[in-house]
Structure formats: C-alpha cells, structure tokens
Structure 1
Amino acid sequence: MRYGRTLERAIYPPWRENYIDYTKLKKLLREDESAPSSPSTESPEDNWTDDDESKFVDELVNVQLEKVHDFHRDTYEKLRDRTAKCEARLDTVAVAQNGEEEAQDRTKSTEATDATDASDAKPNGESNGNGKKPVPSESDKQETLKEVLAELDQITKETNELEKYSRINYSGFLKAAKKHDRKRGTSYRVRPLLQVRLSALPFNQEDYGPLLYRLSAMYSFVRQHLEGAENRGISVSEAVEDKKEYISHKFWVHPDNMLEVKTMILRRLPVLVYNPQTSKIAEGNQPDPSMTSIYFDSPAFSLYSNKVDNNEASSLRLRWFGQLAEKPQIWVEKKTVKNETSSEQQFTTKEKYIQHFIKGEDHMEKQIKKLEDRAGVDSAEAKNLKSSVEEVQTFIKEHNLQPVLRANYTRTAFQIPGDDRVRISLDTDLAFIREDAIDDRPCRDPESWHRTDIDNQQMEYPFSAIRKGEVNRFPYALLEIKVRNSGKRKEWIQDIMHSHLVKEAPRFSKFVHGVSILFEDYVNTFPFWLPQLETDIRRDPQEAFEEEQAKRQKQIDDDFAVGSLLKSRPSMSTFSPGKQTRKDIISPVGSPAMAGKANTGTSAAETRMSKLGNIANMEPTQVNDTAGEADDDETGTTRIGNERSVTVPGGLKGLFPSFSTSKYAASRRTAKLPPGVSKPESWIKDAGPVKVEAKVWLANQRTFIKWQHVSVLLASLSLGLFNAAGKDNSIARGLAVVYTIVAVLAAAWGYGIYMWRVSLIRGRSGKDFDAVTGPVVVCIGLIVALVLNFGFKYQAVRQDWNREQDMVMFNQTLAHWGDL
C-alpha cells in the first residue's frame, strides 16, 4: 500500500490539519506516480534548480517538521494539564473522605455537644469535619467521579492517537526524504539534513510512561469509589480459599500496538511498582524491573528435545532482578512435568555460592543451618529446602547440565494490590543470548556459571557489544493474562484477548524459543511458532472482529454437540447455534465504553473452555508476585513456593474421563460405514502440496555432504598410501585397496541414506530419521584396517630383525672357522 493511502486511513479527524502535508511535498518534488522509480527519471523539461531544491527543503524541514513537532508538544502539554486538573478534582474527593473519617473518630471522643455540632455541619454540605472547608455531598462526589472518568477516557484515547500521530508522521518524513534522494540524488541529498533536524526535534521519542502511571493511579481511585468494595480487595469468602485456580493466556504484541494495550489494561488494573528494598519507599517513577533468566541444558540438549518432542520434561534455571553487580537474590528453580503432573523446587541463594553449588561442592549447609535455627530442625521449610538442594544437585549431575541460554527482558506488571483475581504481565525488550561452553569458541568461561563480559560491563538491551551470532532480539512483546477460574469473566479482558492488538501464542516458552534460534545446528526439532515470526502479526480491526465472531459461533456449535454427547446439553435459553446474545458481541477495538461494562456471567462455552485451560495453584498475592514471579515459561502454569503439584486435564481426557487413547482401545473402536461410503485410501493431510521446513531439508543435505567429505578423505588416504608403497610393498598396496573399498562404501551409504530420508520427508512419514548402521560399519572397518596394518608392519619388522640376527651369527661362524 502506498504511504499516501496509509496516511489518509490513519488520520485522526480532529487533528487532520496538523498532519504532514504529503501531497504538497510530492507536488514540490514533481513526483509522477506513473514514472519509474529511479534516479534518472528527470526529463529535459524537468529541470531541477537550486530554487526548487530550496523550496522543497524549506517546506519539509522548516514548515512541515516544525508544524508536526509544535502540535505534538502542545498536545502533550495539554494532556498533562488535563491530567493535573483531574488529579485536583479527585483530591477534593479524597480530602473530603479523610475529613469524614476524622470527624467520625472525633465524634467518638468528644463531648455530646461537639458531636451534635459536627453532625449538624455535615448534612448541610457546608464544611468538613474541621468546620473549615466545604465538603461535597455523596451525590456530588459520584457526579465528580463520573465526570473525571469520562475525562480520563478521553485523555487515554487522545494519548493513543498522539502516539499513532507521531509514528505516522515520522514515517512520512522518512518517505519524503527517500523519494527526494531517489529522484534527485544525483545532485542533492536531503536525508542527512533531515536526520539532524529529527534529532533536534524528537517528537517521535516522547516517553509516555509518567503520564500512564498518573492515569493508572486515577483510574484505580475512581474505580474503587464508583464500583465499591468489589474491586478494592479480596472478599472474605475469597480470602479464606485454600486453593486458587488460574487460567493463563499468552499473546504477542507488536511494538506499534504496545501503548494502546497498556492503556487498555491500566484503565482497569494499576501498574505495580517494583522496588527491591521495600514497598514503603517505592516511587511512581521507579522503572520496570529488568529480569534475567539463565537456563540449563546438556551439551546434547536433552531437556530441550524432551520439551519439544514429548512436552513432558524437566527444566532448571537461575533468575534475578536488575544487574548482577547489585548483588540481588538469585532464585534457583527446577520444574518437572510428568504424566500431566507438575512439581517445582524453588529456593534463593547468593552469587558467590552458585558455582560451588553447581559443581556439587557446596550443599548450602549454612543456609539450611540458619533456617533450622530460625524455624526449627523439624520444620517443613527446612526439610523442603534440604530436599530441594539435594534434588537439584542430583539433577545437574545426572544430566550433565550447564548454563546454555540467557533471557533478558523488562517486565511491566498490572494488578490491584490485595486482589489477585486478575494478574497481567507485559515483557518487553526480550533478548536471548548464548551462555554455553560446548564448542571450540565458548561464549562463557567453563569455570564460571555466567558470562562475565555481560555482567561485569553491566550491558543492557539491545546488547550491541555482543557478537551477532550470540544474541537474538525477539521482535514482539509478551503479554500474559492470568485470570482466576471463579466462573466470572470480565468483558474488558475479553476485549483485549480478542482484539486486533494481540496475537495468541499458546504454550510459548522462552527457553524453547531461545534454543531453537541460537542453537539450530545442535537440535533437530523446532517449535511450531517459528514460521509465524516471518509474518506481520498486525491485523485490521474489522477483520479481527469478524474472525472472532466466527470463532465464537463455531465454539458454540461445538459445545452444543459435545453437550449432547455428554447428556448435559445446555438449555436453549443460554445460547443457540443460530444466534448470539448481546453479551457475546465484543468490541472490535476495545473501546472505553465497552470496557466499562461489567460482565455479570459466563456462558457454558466459556466455563468449559476455562476447565481445559492451563490451571495453577497460587498463594495470596504480594506486589513482587506478579512483577517477579516465575512466569509460565516451561509448563504453561505458575507456582510460588518450594514444591507443589497440580494435575492438568487436557485433550480428550479432559472432556471424556473414561475415553482411552491407547492403541488397543483404538483398534477395538471400529465404526461401521454407512452405505455408499468407502474407507479413504489416503489421508486429507497428504492431499495438499508438500511443505517442508527449509531447516529439515538443509539438515539432510548437510549430512550427505559430511558423508561425502569422509569418503573423499579416505579415498585420498588410500591413493597416497598406494603411490607411496611401491611395487614391492604388497601389504601397503593391499591396505590401500581396503581403504578404497571403505571409502566407496561410505559414499554409497551416504547417498542411500540421503535418498531414503528424502522419501520420508516427501511422504510425511512419522518414522525416525536415525541410521546408526553406516557410522558403526565405517568405524569398525577403519579399526580393523588399522589393526591389520599394525600387525603386518610388526610382523615385517620382526622378520627383518630375525634375518639380521641370522646374518650376524653366520658371519661370526665364518670368522671363527677362518681363525682355525
């Protein structure tokens, strides 16, 4: 799509006159849409003079750029002023509330006459508890809160539009400069000048973080006072729950949609401010925490292979906040998934103990002793710590684990303090870095547990000092939404999950993705989401809305059919396959009006979907639980504590507990085909064209080339041995022939295996590609040839030595007889 059309579609109507005048710039440039795009498109009558160049540059750099920059600056200042006015209006409500509470306390401790005076002053709305300032009535408070909420919605909307405004105009200036340099680049170039001016007027680099924090705090205050105790914290019934189940949803977010997603979330959830010292001194300008995770695996990447192939595996990682030079606490986390049951061991330690702990030289006796002294020798905490340490060290030793991958990212957490029903985290600036020491050029010192070049120099994103092949920067942000499975689904959460702003990424794992990208030559299997990185995840809002409606309709039809099978068909009043209720319609863009409505119930389809999701056991939430919790990286679930287990039903077993997926049961389940229907001879999956991953095809070719390389080396060896042997050395010539035969067999084996694997790939076969016979035969053949070579050579030396001894004795005998 041409930029002019893109600009027209992106214009916010109230600001139309303040956008870049791209049409005027093209006219000044004498841009002809039908002309070819090349620097030599000037015609004889199209003489570009210095005056023309001056007019274009003046219009681009001075007029248009100044106009856009001034408007962006003024609009941002107005938004800040409007935000300050909203804060002032909310201050009156807060002061009045505090005054009422103080007056109530004073009423209990003063004389009856003072209590009467205070009670007379309040109903009239003329003064607060001190009798000095007017106190608004309850109706005035509600009206003020509603007006402020409407103003906050408008500010949020204009903040989103301002970010889009800066982005589209920035692209317009670069496009105009590119057109100019392509058309007039033989004589004039305007791109360097434009870059200088853009650096001086950085309208596209505005940080909206402080404004968003202020809006978040006001949204939280207004929501608490308008919606009452529902959103102020956990109710009594919920607080005494021993078990809390959560459903986890993962998404990718394009950088262009980042700010809009943040504003949609902060309208309902405040931003959690992380501070490693204490929450009492946390400030609003505290930056989001930078988190680092180091994952372990064996040189053969066995943990990765089990994770990708079987989805049942164990994993180990170290995790901390901020820079390692600040000596933070380091979390040691081990997760095990087996037979749909997950368990976790987790404890903290310090940096100086990590290397000895990994080698098995330090069993954390000091930490265990301190915990036993504090909590008791027989306490559950001490026993859990001791068993966790032993299990982790045994796990490292058995699997020969070492650090292989580092993941660094910045986390923004959203949650109502004291209310953990909805927990959202947004990870940005995600970078994967090689941390291995498995080849001839190790990225990490084998005697150290981490890369000292990164931590000593306190490198930060984008880690530009690291070599190209050792770092990979993830192009999107990771959004994770955890909702307590309490039978109540918020409509604003549905708006985010089903909007065009996010791309669903179920079971995405940082560990799996990092290994598959940075160690592609060491692994043979890859996750399913890799091809999606090559496509643009941005979608048109209307198309996303229509796709979601179609998906919902299909889900309703499926649930209706499943309900009939289970003999628990939902009533027709709940939903119907042919129509949807108003609650099933979601907003295609997540507008504030739609997000402001509360969902009072869930459909049977949503309830059944929630039972099939990723469920986790959680404990009461603190600030750091969301900001720094162990994310759903390995198993799709989150746990906090030393060791827990949870069984997650999935697939057919979740829907039909008595349904068996064994081969025996499948063979016994034979359905009689109706008349006129025959059993298909080929699968539907085999009907379309074969689409093979390039990595799979190239891996097969690479193996074939290595076989031919071995064959050429053996043939060269045999030829050199044959030529150097001479005519009289029959043993060496015979061995040269043997080496030649082995070389021919290796070449034939390599070609045969190559063609066999090609047939498996084309036929979509599920067989293993392993072929261990050829390497074993070649190795045995070479060993036998070398042993025979050594034996024959040793026998020839012995014969020469015996012959020499016989000659010496014969000469001595002749000399003796000569003397006689």
Structure 2
Amino acid sequence: MEKMNHPYQSLFKHSQFYTIPLKKEAKEKDRYCIECGQRLQSGASFMTLSKSSKRHQGLCVGCKRLFGIFLSDPSAKTIIKSRLLLPEKKKLGTVVSKSGIRKFDMLQYLALENIIRVRNEIFLDRESHLVMTESLIRNMKQRHMKQNWPHSQPESFPTSKELYDLMRQSDSTCAVSGTLGLWIKGTHWHPFKLTIDHIIPVSKGGCYDINNLQVMPYSLNQVKSNESDDELRRWLENFRSSRMKYGQELQQNIFAPWRLSYVSYDILKYELKNRQLDHAWTAKDEQEFINLLDNELSKVYDFINAKLSEIDARILYCERTIQTLRKNPGMASEANFGIMDEALTEILFDVNDLSKFTRVNFVAIQKILKKHDKWTHIQLKQAFVEKLREKPLDKQRFDVAIIYISALHDICRNRGQQSLGNSASGGDQNAFERATAKYWIHPDNITEVKAIIMLHLPVLIYNKQKKWEPSDSAISSVYFDNSNFDLYTTRLQRDEGSEAIRFRWYGPKDETNIYIERKTHHAEWLNGASVKDRFRLKEDQVDAFMNASLTPDKIAHDLIQSGLKKTTVDHIHFIARGVQQSFREKKLEPMVRAYYNRTAFQLPDDQRLRISLDSDLTFIREDHLDHMLRRQSPQHWRREDVGIDYPFYNVQKKDILRFPYAVLETKLQTHLGQQPPEWLTSLTESHLVHEVPRFSKYLHGASHFYRERLALLPWWLSELNVDIRKPRAENRGLTRSHSFRPLIDGKYRRAMIEETERENKKEVVSKQSEHISAQHSSSATEVNDISYEPSYNYDMTKKYHGLPPVPPEKISETKTSPEPLNSLENLSLLDKLFTRKKSDIEMGSGPKRVGVKVRVEPKVFFANERTFISWLQFCALLLTVALNLLNFGDKTSRIIGGIFIVLSAGIAVYALYRFEKRAWMINRRIDGRYDDLWGPAVLCLLLVVALIVNFYLRFK
C-alpha cells in the first residue's frame, strides 16, 4: 500500500506531547480553519503548535475536538506514538504540508495502514448488551429529564435485540464515513471503538426510536456532538471527499451514458501494480503499459472528437431552423422559439458534460502517470508529453461552441429579434461607479459557470464584422516595475496615487495595436477618484516611446496633423507624459507577462452588469534581474519567444507559473441603484466559485517570481493551499434528472423561464443606462481609450472595450432595419461570426421577451365556440337539403344530394379543425392569424361548382 507522508508525524515525534492550549481571538470570524479550509464560525478557536511557538492557527469546532481526542487522551497518544512510522526530524510546528493533507487523513492513515487491527466480529455475551443498553437508557433519561421530557420510560427505548441487529447490520462500519471500527466491551477508550449515536440530538425529541440511531466510531461521535446542522454537514462532506481515493472519485464523477468511453483507470492501476507484485518491472512491461495507456488516450480523444462533431451538427440544425422561423412570420410563434430554446439548452448541457468528461480523463491520465513514475522509478510523464501534444486533452476548449449557442440563444430569447444596441459599445465608458468582485473557479467548474451565465447574459462579441476565432479571446499584458518593486509595494498597500503600468494587446503576437495603460488608485487630478486610462500605439513605436525618443509632444503633433480635436489631443498628451515620467523617474522595466483567454458576458449597450471569465491564466518572467537574457535586448519591451500557445511548453519551468484556477470578475453599476440579480447572487454563493477580494494578476505573478525580494506578500497566497472545491450544493448549478433531462438550479428550463417572467412583472428596469460625469466619487472609475496612429486618420474605435469599425451607413441600418443581422438572407448568422473549422472547436439575463403573457378573457373562447357553431349550422342546413334530394328526388336529384352530403361532411370536419387550432393558439398566447383566410373562399367556390353541376345534369 502506498505510504503517506503524514503531516502530524513531526508533532508526534517530539519528545513530549502537549495538550493543545485553546484561546479566543477577536478576529476569528475573518480567519479560516487551517485543517479544513473553511471560514471559522462561532465556537472556533486558535491553537498553538507548541509551547515555544508564537504562531497560532485557527481550528473549527470539529477539528478542535478531533485534535483534543488524539492528543490529550493517554491511550490515544500511546496508540499513535507506538504505531506511526516516524520520518526524519522536522521542526515542530510543520503541521500542515504543502500537499494539503488534513486531519481526515490522520484517521485514514490509522485505518488503511492497519495500525488498528479490525475484526468483523460482534461480542455476543449478555454483559456487553446489558452495559450498552443501560448506558444508552441512562444517557437518554438524563437528557430527557433536563428538558422535562415525559417520554423517559425504559420501554420507549430500543431493546437489546434491536441494538444487536443494528450492530450486526453495520458490519463494523461507520454509517457516516464508511470507516471500519471495533466493538469493544466495557468502558475501554479507543478512537475506533464503535458506539451507538443519535442522528439528531436527543433534546429534539423522537430519538429513542431505533430508526434514529446509527453506528459511529467514538472519535467521530465526539466531533459530531453538539455541532450545528450546517457545520456537521460540511465537516462530514469534507471527511468523505478527503479520504476518498481517486478511483472512487472517478467513479462518482462518471456520466453514466458515457461510462464505457472513460479511461480505464482501475485496469491501468491493476496492470501497474500486479506486474510489480509478480516480478520486477521489465522493459517489456514498460512497453506494454505504454501501449495500453496510448490506447486509452486514443479512445478518449476519438470520443471527444466524435461528440464535438455531433454538437457542431446539432448547432447547425438549430441555426437553419431558427432562420426558417425568422423568414416565415406564420411559423415564428412563441412555442416554436421555445422549442428551439430548449434544444439549445440541451446542447449546452452536452457541452458542459463533455468538458467535465475531458477534464476527468485528463486528470486520470496524469494520476496514472504519476503512479507509474513513483512505483517504477521510470520517468514516463515527461516522455508522454509528445503524445499528449498530438492528442491534447488539456487544450480542449469549448468556447467556440458556447459562443455559437449564445448567438442563437439570444435570438430565441427575443423571439427572433436581436438584442438592440452595439455589442461592443457598452454605452458611455467615460465614467461610472461600479462594484467589483473577484472569484476563483476550479477547472472542474469553468464550463458550467460559463453555461449558467450564458443562460442569462449573451457572450459579448466585440467585432461582428469579422469571423470569430479562438485567438480573439487571448489577452496578453506586460507589467512594468523597477528592481525595488515600488509599483508592486504601493499597489499592495493601496497607497494614494499608486500606479500600475502595462502594455497590452489582444489576439496573436503579431497584432500591431498595442495599448499603453495606466491604472491609478485615488488620482489627485480626479479629486481622489480611481482611474484607468490608455492610448494606442503601433508595435514598432513602443520601444521608441519607452526610451523617450518618441515624445508626448511628437505624438500630439502627429495627432493634430491628422485632424483630431484639441481636447482629445491634450488628454493623450497628458497620459503619455505621465507614463514617460514614471519610466524616467522610477526606472521601470518589463517584469511579468500575464496571459489569459477572456470570455465576456454583457447585454449590448447596457453597462449595468458586466461579467468576465479569464481562463488559462499564465505568468511569464520578462525581467533580467537574475542576469539571464530573456528579451532580445534590455531595451526591448517584451520577449519574442513567447506567443499565445498555451500551455507554453517552450518556456523554462522557472520562468513560468500556470495559475491553477480561472478568475471570474463581476462589475455592477451602483450609481443607478442596480442590485445584483437573483441568479448572480445564487451563483456567487454556490459551490462553483470561491471569492477572493482584491485579487490582482500582477501582484500574484510578482509575488511568485520575486518572493525573496519582497517584504510584503498578498493575503490570498495562503488560499492556494486550500482546496477551493466545496461539496456540491443541492439544486445548484447544472444537473440532470434521473431521466437525464437538463435541470438548472433543480428546475426544468421552462419552469425557470416562467419564474423569471413572474419576477419581470414585479419590476421593470429601463434598458437605457444613465451616465454621470468623470468627477464623481472615490469609487468612480474612468476609462479613457484613445488611439495614436500617425499614418492614418484617428480612429476612436477599439477592438475591445469600445466601438467596432462600423461605417455610418451601417449604423443607420442597424437602427432602422427590422432584420437583426445585416445580410442574413445571403449569409448564415454563424458563418458570418465564426470560422467553421472543426479544429477550432477541438482547440477549444438577457433582454426580456418582447411579449409578456397576459390573462386571456373567457369571451375569447366563447367567440371561438360561436364561430364553430355557426359553421355547424350551415352544415346542418346543407345536410337537410341533401337528404331531401336523396329521399324525394329522381336520379339526378340523388346525385346532387350525394355531392352535397360529401360537401357538408367536409365542411364540418374543416370547422372542427379550425376550432381546435384556434383554441390551441389562444391557450399558448401565440401571435398569429386567428381569422380564416382560405376557408370561406374555398367553401363558396365548392358551392358554386355544386350548383353548376346541378344545372348541367338537369338541363343537358
């Protein structure tokens, strides 16, 4: 069995054992438990790691009790001290290792290493039963008497036989954690002694029933006692997840319909382990194992490609159907758009399932490679990198599919109409107040979070005039600082006037537009408001700007020559002069590059709510502080050997940091009284995200690469030692029913839409945002985006965070044309926005409904019935005439009578059909024609034909 490097061994090896002193702390609510990583609640305490240690660590109630059990009881110390395999000496106080092992592994270590020999045997002697029964009755009587409970008679409690049956059914296994225990008679203390515990506290009543009892080891019983429901549930969930092996975790995360397509982790592990137990690992074993692993990788990769092709085809089908609905008003009913909306939701769930499938299999292969290298001492993980490059699982991106779905979803939400406004304009960006919050998202949850946001906000397409490519989401920024890290220190301390200067570009490395950006905290020239301003240069001008050969005066002169307004030129001059002054006085040089792929969500022309999600966040060194030449010359502003080829295998390991999580940022305008929508609050409070206030990309990258040079470090570094994954909350996020139907927060899509509509009736918010001046308050943020292009006319448009390059005539067409997208008749919506390449996919609350449902008056149904009855009256009259002709006429009359009978029957069937169709349309509030355009005309025509036939037969 794999041996564990247990974090408590250093503590147990110490010559003396100390009872952990507990002391109260005033700010304990702002701290996290060192063991389980959760925020401390009431009843939590702080512990000292030793008598000589001045460092304190917070413990929650459950962790505190478990420490007390194992370190204060003499028999527990004896068991631990005599059984643990002690490692090399370490300093006392190294309790929690970097790998994140916690108290739960202490129990796992004791149980799995068989330090306590467990016998699946229950003592059957009468003495044990009497002792247990008497103890239980005595305990419950005392508690009931304290609460003045009348039901305290012994006959109300379980009998000895019931207790024995409960013990036997448990098979010496804890009902909560699954840990094996030991039945011990008498009062002998033992951490794994099994006891009978109450599922809910006795004081709540009803606990004397056998159904409210469960088997649990003594240690867990003590931790569980007096816990609040929420604390106990969280503690036990952490216990289950922390002691679970990866094979078990993999089985729990398997999506049942795709079970056969997952990596055969157990088979790979069996082959790896069984061969070594049988004989020494040979070259033949190595080759066969590589072939087996390669086959599993190919199986997974081929399945992903097949599913992506299937998803692609389904999206194209939905696109063609939606275009047909939009071109045919008679078919463009609310019900049909609702059907397409549900179809797109089903596709979105499949994308989410496929993303999780990819992630789970990638982790499984990494785990098995790690076990191989550890057990065989052969470094296969590095040698296998080439195969992972050929069939990448870590580079599978689903952004293209999500954006496809978002574009169609937005049309369905608006019942065939596109969201009004420009997708990239975002309204007036000169000044606005906003509340910003930042969160970390575990890779397991990235696609699910994107899908949830997309159901309420469309993906923001910055430039709809060009085909969207995966590289369009790439953002690269080079941050500048000096060798003393003055900008880092002032930003971390949030000093007045602190700056952050970066050069940013969007898309591939050969992008020619470089944005010179400066963020100032509480700028003096804006009366203490924080500001972010920038202007644009060409790539070949950046070095000249850095070394001051391209001066602000030269920039201003060229802009005036291009015909730009003087006020704008003055502002550009002010920004350029301030940035160059910082370069000159603070001796700034390139330090860290930050790269990430951004997916933005926002309603067009609506700045009230904007959400961005940055994934694949990577930090790369750009400096020469260690005398290593990374840039072509010290005067150049960036490295040329690094592009956007994540995960940047060409960069040396010491020069790169791949951030383990994605970063979610929400920006909510507060000066308009905007409150976070309910769905966003539900998301941010769910298990899918982990809040990290004031997280900064530059501060994090600098603190990693230059830690020995920095006096202060960001507070969130300790959060990286905590597993931010939380137990999955019930009815939160994207799930499936037992029949695999999509559920959103535990509800079907249709139910969620109806609930949203009910909320919309209560409160109507204007779509047009009001904007305020630049000098507003200390929380105002000004964004100035100005371009400097001497060779061309000045262009105020931006590729990101600004207006797309739309000619004036296009703007007028957008405002007046009833069609949501230009040239849709000749060009597919998605073909216009995206490049239809399979390789691209492999690499990778909206506007309210136009019509609000209203109550249908009963007279509408009565009118439909009266119309139907009128048609039946005519049929009855025609049928009477036909019967008279049949019964009392000659041969010619009988022929005419037969024609009228057929005609009468046809009219009756047609009238019934129209009646049922109108009733169906009224029930579903479908917008369409309720009058009968062709029925009366056809009826008159048939009657005329019948009369002509009658006259012809009579007078021929």
Q: Which TM-score band (shorter chain)? A: 0.5 to 0.7
Task: Identify the residue that residue 811 of structure 1 maps to in structure 2.
Answer: none
Compared CA separation, residues 51 and 289, structure 1 to 2 (3 A): closer
CA shift at 1:528, angstroms?
0.5
Instruction: Report the AA paired with residue 314 of structure 2.
Output: R
Could you give the per-residue CA deviations for residues 126-166 of structure 1, whole angstroms, max 9, x where no partner exists?
Answer: xxxxxxxxx32x5xx21111111111111111221122234
CA shift at 1:180, angstroms?
8.3
Task: Identify the residue that residue 7 of structure 1 maps to in structure 2.
Answer: 250
CA distance in 1: counterparts of 2:590 and 2:509, whole angstroms = 16
Q: What secondary structure does 1:283 align onto?
A: coil
1:148 alignment partner, one of 340, 349, 352:
340
Q: What secondary structure does 1:269 align onto?
A: coil
Structure 1 gaps, min length 5: 32-36, 98-134, 547-585, 603-610, 630-820
> Is 2:317 the partner of 1:81?
no
> Is 2:655 the partner of 1:490?
no
CA distance in 2: counterparts of 1:370 and 1:309, whole angstroms = 39
TM-score by length of 1: 0.53
Q: What secondary structure does 1:210 align onto?
A: helix
> Is 2:479 the partner of 1:295?
yes
Instruction: Report the AA paired with residue 89 of structure 1.
Output: T
CA shift at 1:316, angstroms?
2.2
> Is 2:405 the partner of 1:215?
yes
> Is 2:448 the partner of 1:260?
yes
Task: Identify the residue that residue 435 of structure 1 maps to in structure 2.
Answer: 622
Q: Which has the higher mean CA deviation after the structures are superposed, 145-154 or 201-210? A: 201-210
TM alignment of 1:622-633, pairs within 5 A: 624-626=799-801
Task: Identify the residue that residue 643 of structure 1 maps to in structure 2.
Answer: none
Task: Identify the residue that residue 455 of structure 1 maps to in structure 2.
Answer: 640
CA distance in 1: counterparts of 2:379 and 2:649, whole angstroms = 29
> Is 2:505 the partner of 1:305?
no
TM alignment of 1:654-803, pairs within 5 A: none
2:691 alignment partner, one of 504, 508, 511:
504
CA shift at 1:506, angstroms?
1.6
Compared CA separation, residues 627 and 270, structure 1 to 2 (3 A): farther
Q: What secondary structure does 1:287 align onto?
A: helix
CA distance in 2: counterparts of 1:435 and 1:493, whole angstroms = 37
Compared CA separation, residues 162 and 590, structure 1 to 2 (3 A): farther
CA shift at 1:207, angstroms?
4.3
Task: Identify the residue that residue 612 of structure 2 maps to in structure 1.
Answer: 425
Task: Identify the residue that residue 321 of structure 1 maps to in structure 2.
Answer: 506
Task: Identify the residue that residue 677 of structure 1 maps to in structure 2.
Answer: none
Compared CA separation, residues 144 and 263, structure 1 to 2 (3 A): same
Instruction: Report the AA paired with residue 688 of structure 2.
Output: L
Compared CA separation, residues 515 and 57, structure 1 to 2 (3 A): closer
CA shift at 1:527, angstroms?
0.7
Compared CA separation, residues 166 and 310, structure 1 to 2 (3 A): closer
Compared CA separation, residues 614 and 505, structure 1 to 2 (3 A): farther
CA distance in 2: counterparts of 1:94 and 1:492, whole angstroms = 30
Assess if the C-alpha contact under 8 Å between 1:499 and 1:589 holds in 2: no
Compared CA separation, residues 619 and 90, structure 1 to 2 (3 A): farther
Compared CA separation, residues 493 and 38, structure 1 to 2 (3 A): same
CA distance in 2: counterparts of 1:301 and 1:91, whole angstroms = 56
Compared CA separation, residues 252 and 592, structure 1 to 2 (3 A): farther
> Is 2:722 the partner of 1:479?
no
TM-score by length of 2: 0.46
Assess if the C-alpha contact under 8 Å between 2:265 and 2:368 holds in 1: yes
Could you give the per-residue CA deviations for residues 641-670 of structure 1, whole angstroms, max 9, x where no partner exists?
Answer: xxxxxxxxxxxxxxxxxxxxxxxxxxxxxx
Could you give the per-residue CA deviations for residues 384-412 of structure 1, whole angstroms, max 9, x where no partner exists?
Answer: 22233333333333333333332233323
Compared CA separation, residues 7 and 429, structure 1 to 2 (3 A): closer
Task: Identify the residue that residue 277 of structure 2 maps to in structure 1.
Answer: 41
Task: Identify the residue that residue 597 of structure 2 maps to in structure 1.
Answer: 410
Assess if the C-alpha contact under 8 Å between 2:476 and 2:506 holds in 1: yes
1:159 alignment partner, one of 345, 351, 361:
351
Number of residue pairs aligned between Structure 1 and Structure 2: 518
Could you give the per-residue CA deviations for residues 270-301 of structure 1, whole angstroms, max 9, x where no partner exists?
Answer: 333456xxx52x11335324323222223222
Task: Identify the residue that residue 368 of structure 1 maps to in structure 2.
Answer: 556
Q: What secondary structure does 2:414 align onto?
A: helix
2:781 alignment partner, one of 600, 616, 621:
616
CA distance in 2: counterparts of 1:447 and 1:70, whole angstroms = 46
Task: Identify the residue that residue 398 of structure 1 maps to in structure 2.
Answer: 585
Compared CA separation, residues 177 and 518, structure 1 to 2 (3 A): closer
Amino-acid identity (%): 29
Task: Identify the residue that residue 224 of structure 1 maps to in structure 2.
Answer: 414
Assess if the C-alpha contact under 8 Å between 1:291 and 1:410 holds in 2: yes
Assess if the C-alpha contact under 8 Å between 1:418 and 1:622 holds in 2: no
CA distance in 2: counterparts of 1:457 and 1:50, whole angstroms = 38
Assess if the C-alpha contact under 8 Å between 2:494 and 2:521 holds in 1: no
Assess if the C-alpha contact under 8 Å between 1:410 and 1:427 holds in 2: yes
TM alignment of 1:124-135, pairs within 5 A: 135=330
CA shift at 1:517, angstroms?
1.3
Q: What secondary structure does 1:525 align onto?
A: coil
CA shift at 1:545, angstroms?
6.9
CA distance in 2: counterparts of 1:240 and 1:342, whole angstroms = 17
Q: What secondary structure does 2:402 align onto?
A: helix
Task: Identify the residue that residue 468 of structure 2 maps to in structure 1.
Answer: 284
CA shift at 1:500, angstroms?
2.1
TM alignment of 1:566-577, pairs within 5 A: none
Compared CA separation, residues 61 and 308, structure 1 to 2 (3 A): closer
Compared CA separation, residues 431 and 182, structure 1 to 2 (3 A): closer
CA distance in 2: counterparts of 1:257 and 1:49, whole angstroms = 40
Compared CA separation, residues 590 and 298, structure 1 to 2 (3 A): farther
Instruction: Report the AA paired with residue 439 of structure 2.
Output: F
Q: What secondary structure does 2:729 align onto?
A: helix
1:529 alignment partner, one of 716, 723, 731:
716
Q: Which has the higher mean CA deviation after the structures are superposed, 10-19 or 420-429? A: 10-19
Assess if the C-alpha contact under 8 Å between 1:412 and 1:425 holds in 2: yes
Q: Which has the higher mean CA deviation after the structures are superposed, 200-209 or 80-89? A: 200-209
Q: What secondary structure does 1:541 align onto?
A: coil
Q: Considering fraction of residues, name the structure with more helix.
A: 1
Compared CA separation, residues 7 and 460, structure 1 to 2 (3 A): closer
Assess if the C-alpha contact under 8 Å between 1:422 and 1:483 holds in 2: yes
CA shift at 1:307, angstroms?
1.7
Task: Identify the residue that residue 123 of structure 1 maps to in structure 2.
Answer: none
Assess if the C-alpha contact under 8 Å between 2:441 and 2:690 holds in 1: yes
Could you give the per-residue CA deviations for residues 107-131 of structure 1, whole angstroms, max 9, x where no partner exists?
Answer: xxxxxxxxxxxxxxxxxxxxxxxxx
Assess if the C-alpha contact under 8 Å between 1:492 and 1:595 holds in 2: no
Assess if the C-alpha contact under 8 Å between 2:495 and 2:521 holds in 1: no
CA distance in 2: counterparts of 1:68 and 1:365, whole angstroms = 59
Task: Identify the residue that residue 914 of structure 2 maps to in structure 1.
Answer: none
CA distance in 2: counterparts of 1:93 and 1:444, whole angstroms = 56
CA shift at 1:592, angstroms?
5.3
CA distance in 2: counterparts of 1:622 and 1:66, whole angstroms = 46
Assess if the C-alpha contact under 8 Å between 2:513 and 2:536 holds in 1: no
Instruction: Report the AA paired with residue 609 of structure 2.
Output: V
CA shift at 1:217, angstroms?
1.2
Could you give the per-residue CA deviations for residues 400-442 of structure 1, whole angstroms, max 9, x where no partner exists?
Answer: 3333332233323333333333322222332223333445446
